[in-house]
Amino acid sequence: MAFDIEMIKEVYARFPERIAAARKAVGRPLTLTEKILYAHLSEGPASQAYKRGASYVDFQPDRVAMQDATAQMALLQFMQAGRDQVAVPSTVHCDHLIQAEIGAVKDLDKAKDKNREVYDFLASVSNKYGIGFWKPGAGIIHQVVLENYAFPGGMMIGTDSHTPNAGGLGMVAIGVGGADACDVMAGLAWELKFPKLIGVKLTGKMSGWTSAKDVILKVAGILTVKGGTGAIVEYFGEGARSLSATGKGTICNMGAEIGATTSIFGYDQKSAAYFQGTGRADIATMADAIAEHLTGDDEVYEQPENYFDQVIEINLSELEPHVNGPFTPDLAWPISKFAAAVKENGWPAKLDVGLIGSCTNSSYEDISRAASLAQQAVDKKLVAKSEYTITPGSEQVRFTVERDGFLDTFGKMGGVVLANACGPCIGQWARHGADKQEKNSIITSFNRNFAKRADGNPNTHAFVASPEIVTALAIAGDLTFNPLVDTLTNSDGLAVKLDEPTGLELPTKGFAVEDAGYQAPAEDGSKVEVLVDPASDRLQLLDSFTAWEGTDIKGLKLLIKAKGKCTTDHISMAGPWLKFRGHLDNISNNMLIGAVNYFNESTNSVKNQLTGEYGEVPATQRHYKAQGIGSIVVGDENYGEGSSREHAAMEPRFLGVRAILVKSFARIHETNLKKQGMLGLTFANPADYELIQEDDSIDILGLTTFAPGKPLQIVLNHKDGSSDTISANHTYNEGQIEWFKAGAALNLIKAKA
């Protein structure tokens, strides 16, 4: 549980020299992002050859963090790597497999029983390989990392797309697939295309109803769900320094929703206060000694347009609270315009449920501000019209807010406290009545609101806002209520107005916890047995994927031409499927069942070219595989948006899909495909998407001379005997081409071991 003080000393020791060398090599002042990236290059100082958004660069991260749903596959892969111990400090956090239904205690007990074999596997494999293990109930990975492991100037990768949460404390923290985590834990360098830089200058200071959440909701509206793709977002300015450390974490966390590689704030006094408040004053002392290196150079922030690829400026003094949604996190509405939008679009104005917490907004500050509104409801004789749930971010936060009376306050308002876990945010919500698929509205302080994500109901209109706005609207039970100007009628028939929320960044009596839920690994894991039952339907040891056959790939059947948004939730759903995250064969039965088929506008219904009949996507692909026939998936823009889950890449690979051809990829998913030996290709001409026909047999040519920057040729053989030849681009470098030839990156690691 220790925060690796010696490792941090080593990182800081190399900062001055490396940053000086980088500044000299680049020949200009540096942003904070560049300083940290250059300090973590695996091979020496910066070079002018590193062009933003163009060159792949090798880095050496300081640590790895894994959540339980993705850790299963990551560690099953690591077991094949041939190492006795992980090469960098690593942790596993059990937060994804706990389903919300009744309340914290009963839900946690049920999860421990239901997921016992998975937890036993994760505990044992962590114990064997030197990995810290956070038990179920300990908290959500990103809040636990913020409280225990994040440090300014560090670099971390995590098997969850919201790993950037740690950027709130000045860390370059990036979401990756399990294969990337496996590489780093095995001691290899980690590869990333050198990112572009987006600067967000924050001026002024927030007050009243506005919170840090509103900053990222505003940014999402500006940049959209793919506007940050291939870029790191760096926040700076007087407004940035005025935000709490956990507020900054909220902003960085939800940067995943704009496709950003990660987001980051510089080290400041708010950071120092958080380290001191969480028992890590040593980090603040060390950071103070090199503070000049833990922020961008003065010249950068004085003239940001000269150093960033794009600059956005937001005045916090003028920023309104926002509500984003439904169905996408970038549909942004200032609260003053939201009621009109609800009415004009015919969204259900009646609010069924308000949910606060999740990895995005579950800090002491978040809960204390929401509790101030709950107390007002009690004092002003208001009864909450909507259901209301609270998800603390960690056991430390939960224990502290219970001690300080906030949970009791929520209870008086009718709130239900859920387990310290992801719960409804990732579809782990046994919502009663969701199966009726009735049209309804919910509002959350979560980060994502894709259709069906929270409760499986495609007609649930999910909106995203700050915990304060969520609480106020839950009290009102009405999406058209604006707490800044509107009144409510209390039980005495009187019109009352909610006062502005208040709260504390840190508890005045300090944090407290009886059992944080941490298990340290064995000092010698050589005799520890990893627990996997060969007959299990939840865990399955992996077999290696086969190597490329050395020829062009011909005769591929079109499995599906996906229409519109196709996120990782569409490719590999969460919710009830989470139980199979450690069993590749079983979870492959959810492959692409949420994708919309271009040819019939249906989900999970594609034409089997061998029988002429329509069937489920996984069953159709299994039929092709049984006949020794490969296939191809065609997709639209930003394919693979959302989670870091590599199952969305491993399932098609396992079932015999050879290539994914799309208009554009989300970053993490494209990398995951490459790691698994798949071909991730993009239309050179996006209009060629329209040429794909339902009965096409497809050839991929040029693989025998596969090279960086050299397009491949795709031949579309149509049913009527005609054909079209189109060009497909790719971003594979020499090393990634070797992954493809070997059948997977892991195959190369095993060969070296």
Whole-number pLDDT of residue 56: 82
pLDDT, average across residues 183-199:
92
Cα of first residue to Cα of last residue in the chain, in angstroms, is 30
Q: What is the DSSP letter of 200?
A: E
| Residues β-bridged to residue 633 | 560, 660
Angle between helices 734-742 and 667-675 (to 10 degrees): 50
Whole-number pLDDT of residue 80: 86
Angle at 635 between CA 625 and CA 550, to 5 degrees: 45
User: 89-127: per-residue pLDDT in tens?
Assistant: 999 999 999 999 999 999 999 999 999 999 999 999 999
Lowest average pLDDT, out of 170-179, 268-277, 294-303, goes to 170-179
Cβ burial of 722 (10 Å; 0-12, 13-18, 19+) is exposed
- Measured CA to CA, the distance from residue 63 to residue 141 in angstroms comes to 14
Lowest average pLDDT, out of 73-82, 108-117, 247-256, 492-501, goes to 73-82
Residue 452 pLDDT exceeds 70: yes
Angle at 320 between CA 316 and CA 325, to 5 degrees: 120
- Measured CA to CA, the distance from residue 148 to residue 8 in angstroms comes to 13
Lowest average pLDDT, out of 121-125, 175-179, 205-209, 310-314, goes to 175-179
Q: What is the DSSP letter of 152?
A: T
Tokens of 750: 């095993």
Tokens of 613: 């009949």
Q: In angstroms, what CA-CA distances link 442 with 42, 479, 492?
A: 46, 9, 27
Q: Which residue has the higher pLDDT, 750 or 141?
A: 141
Whole-number pLDDT of residue 304: 98
Residue 7 pLDDT exceeds 70: yes
Whole-number pLDDT of residue 578: 84
Q: What is the DSSP letter of 123?
A: H
Q: Contact, 158 vs 66, CB < 8 A?
A: yes
Q: What is the DSSP letter of 100?
A: B
User: 686-701: per-residue pLDDT in tens?
Assistant: 999 999 999 999 999 9
Report the candidate in 621, 494, 643 with the shortest Cα–Cα distance to residue 567.
643
Residue 1 pLDDT exceeds 70: no
pTM: predicted TM-score of the whole model, two decimal places: 0.88
Spell out the residues 6+ positions from residue 296 whose beta carbon is closer than 8 angstroms to its own.
Answer: 29, 30, 31, 32, 33, 35, 234, 236, 266, 307
- Measured CA to CA, the distance from residue 130 to residue 86 in angstroms comes to 6
Confidence of residue 53 (pLDDT cuts 50, 70, 90): low
Confidence of residue 44 (pLDDT cuts 50, 70, 90): low
Whole-number pLDDT of residue 43: 74
Cβ burial of 564 (10 Å; 0-12, 13-18, 19+) is exposed
Whole-number pLDDT of residue 46: 62
Q: Which residue has the higher pLDDT, 3 or 653?
A: 653
Lowest average pLDDT, out of 45-49, 334-338, 379-383, 638-642, goes to 45-49
Residue 45 pLDDT exceeds 70: no
Instruction: Express the helix, strand and coil content of the chain in percent, nearest 5 each.
Output: 35, 20, 40
Q: Contact, 460 vs 453, CB < 8 A?
A: no
Q: Compute how many other C-beta atoms are within 10 angstroms of the C-beta atom of residue 654.
A: 20
pLDDT, average across residues 160-174:
97
Residue 445 pLDDT exceeds 80: yes
Whole-number pLDDT of residue 188: 87
Radius of gyration of the CA atoms of the chain, in A: 25
Residue 50 pLDDT exceeds 80: no
Write out the catalytic residue numbers.
95-96, 160, 448, 643, 645
**Tokens 């749930």 belong to which residue?**
389
Q: What is the DSSP letter of 529?
A: P
Supply the DSSP string of 641-683, one letter for each residue: -S---THHHHHHHHHTEEEEEES-B-HHHHHHHHHTT-EEEEE
User: 469-523: per-residue pLDDT in tens?
Assistant: 999 999 999 999 999 999 999 999 999 999 999 999 999 999 999 999 999 999 9
Cα-to-chain-centroid distance, residue 464: 16
pLDDT, average across residues 48-66:
82
Whole-number pLDDT of residue 339: 98
